[in-house]
Structure 1
Amino acid sequence: MAETDSSHLHLLFISCPAGIHVRGGEWVFVSSASPLVGVVPSVIGHRGASGYRPENTLASYELAARLGADRIEPDLVPTRDGVLVLRHESEVTHSTDVATRPEFATRRCTRVVEGREVTGWFTEDLTYAELRSLRAVEPRPHLRPTTTVYDGLYEVPTFVELLELAAQLRAELGRRIVVTAEVKDPSRYAADGFDIAAMVIAELRGLGLDTPDAPVALQCFEAGFLRRLRAEGLTVPLVQLVEDNDAGRAACTPWGLREVSTYAQVLAPSKEMVLPVAADGTLGPATPLVADAHRAGLEVHVWTLRNENSFLPPSLRVGMSDAAPGRALVEHLAFLDAGVDGIFTDHPDTAFEARRLWATGKAVPGARRGGSASGAPAGQPVAS
């Protein structure tokens, strides 16, 4: 990491996230932790550049790569006829235009998902051809109204289509772009007769992507599913997702992390497990999780950072609107300072700029002003 210049050594310290301080009205980054040795922190486009395009579309993933993402993250769910497609969950009422399509009115039903009843339209009840006739829409129009201009323009893509797009982007951009795919709820689909592990393995092997250095990784909350992939001989990197619940906290003990390291290369915790929000609305001190995971030989990729006030700690919000951009750049820098090896973000340009500042130790321009943390107009990507 580049050393900070001497002008950054004399700072006015106030209550700010670890490593982020104020000097002369600007946020200044001072590194106090590092990623795993030899690792450059990854910018991970969460569902693509989903802050700027409808999520899980090829347009979103292409934009993420062009904004500097090193990794792009899709979510995999099955169709009735066994095609893996990209949706955050299999219920597609809010991510497609299915509710406006009279030909699908009778397909609305209620299923039990994660212990609760959910009513809507599900990919596992639709064939690939039927799903392909739908068009993607912005699922959070109240927070991302500018993204709704793209509603109806994009199809629901397949996993194979994304893998092919990533190969094209690697060739065009001349750099490595990894597809880090999340497998959603494999146990639930198994109860409906879908062998998601076999489906994923077949698609990767069919494209020659089952190698340890392939530009693909697979992630899941279910440890048993990841263990099965290893048992089936799949050699791509695996990512253990965890959230702040009893199971997640158990996996993040020193013993649990050693166990995770027997089958996975990366731990992906929710962001509050690394930097919890204090009672006063500021980012509190970092937990031991990153250091403990690094001791177990695991990289740490944290999820999910977003620019809008709705998703930021109170101390980093700007104005009263949930949809307005806050000081997201400061939050991204705080996680880099905590030593994470990757950041899942809906706004890859913000993470890209944060990493640049983190590497050079420069001040964060304009973060104290009332506009976007990135300095770009609301809803517009930062030029990189």
Structure 2
Amino acid sequence: MRIKLPVWVLAGATLAAIAAVPSGAVAHRDEEPTVIAHRGASGYRPEHTIEAYRLAIASGADYIEPDLVSTKDGVLVARHENEISGTTDVSTKPEFASRKATKTIDGVSVTGWFTEDFTLAELKTLRAKERLPQVRPTNTVFDGRFEVPTFQEVIDLARTEGRKLGRTIGVYPETKHPTYFQNIGLPLEEPLVRVLKRNKLTGKKDPVIVQSFETANLRKLDKLIDVKLAQLLSSSGAPYDLVVAGDPRTYADLAKADGLKWISRYADGVGVEKNLVVPRDASGKLLAPTTLIRDAHRHGLIVHAWTFRAENQFLPADFRIGTDPNARGDVYAEYALFFRLGIDGVFSDHPDTAVAARLGFSR
């Protein structure tokens, strides 16, 4: 069916940008787009905390997304990175001052404190803080309140809150730096599979999608478990496992028709940076959409786009309101554009806005 845009969604949009979508780029979709809460409702609470996930569920999100890294004792916990000085109060803890280190992560030198140097019990003594305090100062009132959750605790929350609401809440974990963790003796795949099997989340119809920016670990997981898998694609760079293997392919190569065909051999979908679907020029204005969604659908892949955020600095210039980079722009117009193109789902820091846009769009 062809989905029409309701007038209210377009009220603040740059209509020309949406009207210019070429008909050949438009995909048909029979289901409403999925709303994935990016690190929880991270626009309103410090990311990757139980409260961020809880608020996302209450906002109507279909999936909550924990990024997974390993502790020293092999437990998967939810952090955006294994370096945690930006998301916890670890730097204020004198008992952990000696743990500060410099490491090479995916070819980049990083200094700070790393989850793999802490046991779970030690990490549980830390408290989360807002990662973007200048952008989201209201979130800082929650600094110091919430623990670092385990993957199991995220699954437990999804099930408990889902039962309360009478609907299924999915989990959408991302394995972070799998090659790095493999090389230090803390592989992510086997612990991930053990947790999913323990929770009877093992099949294509179960509410779980595993994602990664690397390819080798997804290909490995494809042989270990039958849950849905999603290959993440950035608008720059290359999967680190391919770099290590001497494979010259970049994310740009994988986003082409041949690359998507290859991905379809092991994955069920792709999670793509928005610019791969609708590029922007040097000034941040929208250019003509690509055929990525259409090409992916032709190979049986679902397409989820990241990351939708309400603040001006993250929006195309077409949809910004005023000049304050931290003020809210017209994120609804951006959703409308991507829904019009046939996107299957969106990762959002503000999942309530995605749910509202989807409701208006479907109507």
- TM-score w.r.t. the length of structure 2 is 0.90
Closer/same/farther in 2, CA of residues 203 and 14 from structure 1, 3 Å limit: closer
Question: Aligned pair 1:354/2:357, yes or no?
Answer: yes
Residue 167 of structure 2 aligns to a residue whose secondary structure is coil
C-alpha contact 1:266 1:300 (8 A) present in aligned 2: yes
Give the residue type in structure 1 aligned to 2:227. V
Give the residue type in structure 1 aligned to 2:99. R
Question: Aligned pair 1:216/2:208, yes or no?
Answer: yes
Deviations 1:251-297 (A, max 9, x none): 12212111111111111110000011135542222101001001111
Question: Aligned pair 1:330/2:309, yes or no?
Answer: no
Counterpart in 2 of 1:191? 183
Instruction: Report the Cα distance in structure 1 between the residues aligned to 2:34 and 2:259, rounded to whole angstroms.
Output: 24
Deviations 1:176-206 (A, max 9, x none): 2110100001100111001211110111111
Closer/same/farther in 2, CA of residues 309 and 239 from structure 1, 3 Å limit: same
Give the residue type in structure 1 aligned to 2:16. C
Residue among 290, 293, 299 paired with 2:293: 290
Q: CA deviation at 1:109?
A: 0.6
Q: CA deviation at 1:32?
A: 9.3
Instruction: Report the Cα distance in structure 1 between the residues aligned to 2:314 and 2:211, rounded to whole angstroms.
Output: 23
Q: Which runs of 5 or more structure 2 residues have no equivalent in the other structure? A: 237-248
Residue among 226, 247, 251 paired with 1:235: 226
C-alpha contact 2:4 2:340 (8 A) present in aligned 1: no
Deviations 1:133-189 (A, max 9, x none): 000000100000001111111000000000011111221111121101000011001
Give the residue type in structure 1 aligned to 2:18. A
Q: State the number of aligned residues.
A: 348
Q: Identity percentage over the alignment?
A: 44
Instruction: Report the Cα distance in structure 2 between the residues aligned to 1:152 and 1:114, rounded to whole angstroms.
Output: 30
Instruction: Report the Cα distance in structure 2 between the residues aligned to 1:107 and 1:32, rounded to whole angstroms.
Output: 55
Counterpart in 2 of 1:128? 120
C-alpha contact 2:42 2:350 (8 A) present in aligned 1: yes
Question: Aligned pair 1:103/2:95, yes or no?
Answer: yes
Give the residue type in structure 2 aligned to 1:17. A
Q: CA deviation at 1:216?
A: 1.1
Instruction: Report the Cα distance in structure 1 between the residues aligned to 2:56 and 2:2, rounded to whole angstroms.
Output: 26
C-alpha contact 1:19 1:337 (8 A) present in aligned 2: no
Instruction: Report the Cα distance in structure 1 between the residues aligned to 2:97 and 2:353, rounded to whole angstroms.
Output: 40
Counterpart in 2 of 1:313? 316
Counterpart in 1 of 2:242? none
Residue among 121, 145, 148 paired with 1:156: 148
Alignment of 1:34-45 (within 5 A): 37-45=29-37
Question: Aligned pair 1:48/2:40, yes or no?
Answer: yes
Instruction: Report the Cα distance in structure 2 between the residues aligned to 1:46 and 1:350, rounded to whole angstroms.
Output: 13
Residue among 248, 252, 259 paired with 1:249: 252
Instruction: Report the Cα distance in structure 1 between the residues aligned to 2:291 and 2:5, rounded to whole angstroms.
Output: 29
Closer/same/farther in 2, CA of residues 37 and 312 from structure 1, 3 Å limit: closer
C-alpha contact 2:286 2:317 (8 A) present in aligned 1: no
C-alpha contact 1:35 1:41 (8 A) present in aligned 2: no
C-alpha contact 1:276 1:285 (8 A) present in aligned 2: yes
Q: CA deviation at 1:334?
A: 1.0
Question: Aligned pair 1:342/2:350, yes or no?
Answer: no
Stretch deviating more after TM superposition (107-116 or 119-128)? 107-116
C-alpha contact 2:5 2:361 (8 A) present in aligned 1: no
Q: CA deviation at 1:353?
A: 1.2
C-alpha contact 2:2 2:29 (8 A) present in aligned 1: no
Instruction: Report the Cα distance in structure 2 between the residues aligned to 1:152 and 1:32, rounded to whole angstroms.
Output: 50
Instruction: Report the Cα distance in structure 2 between the residues aligned to 1:146 and 1:252, rounded to whole angstroms.
Output: 37
Q: CA deviation at 1:5?
A: 9.7
Counterpart in 1 of 2:162? 170
Residue 275 of structure 2 aligns to a residue whose secondary structure is helix
C-alpha contact 1:19 1:32 (8 A) present in aligned 2: no
C-alpha contact 2:25 2:294 (8 A) present in aligned 1: no
Residue 173 of structure 2 aligns to a residue whose secondary structure is strand
Aligned-residue CA RMSD in angstroms?
2.4
C-alpha contact 2:89 2:129 (8 A) present in aligned 1: yes
- TM-score w.r.t. the length of structure 1 is 0.85
Q: CA deviation at 1:19?
A: 4.2
C-alpha contact 1:18 1:286 (8 A) present in aligned 2: no
Counterpart in 1 of 2:171? 179
Instruction: Report the Cα distance in structure 2 between the residues aligned to 1:102 and 1:260, rounded to whole angstroms.
Output: 46
Instruction: Report the Cα distance in structure 1 between the residues aligned to 2:276 and 2:149, rounded to whole angstroms.
Output: 32
Residue 259 of structure 1 aligns to a residue whose secondary structure is helix
C-alpha contact 1:36 1:294 (8 A) present in aligned 2: no
Question: Aligned pair 1:16/2:16, yes or no?
Answer: yes
Q: Which runs of 5 or more structure 1 residues have no equivalent in the other structure? A: 22-30, 361-384
Give the residue type in structure 2 aligned to 1:355. R
Residue among 53, 62, 75 paired with 1:70: 62
Question: Aligned pair 1:89/2:81, yes or no?
Answer: yes
Closer/same/farther in 2, CA of residues 319 and 3 from structure 1, 3 Å limit: closer
Q: CA deviation at 1:357?
A: 1.9
Counterpart in 1 of 2:240? none
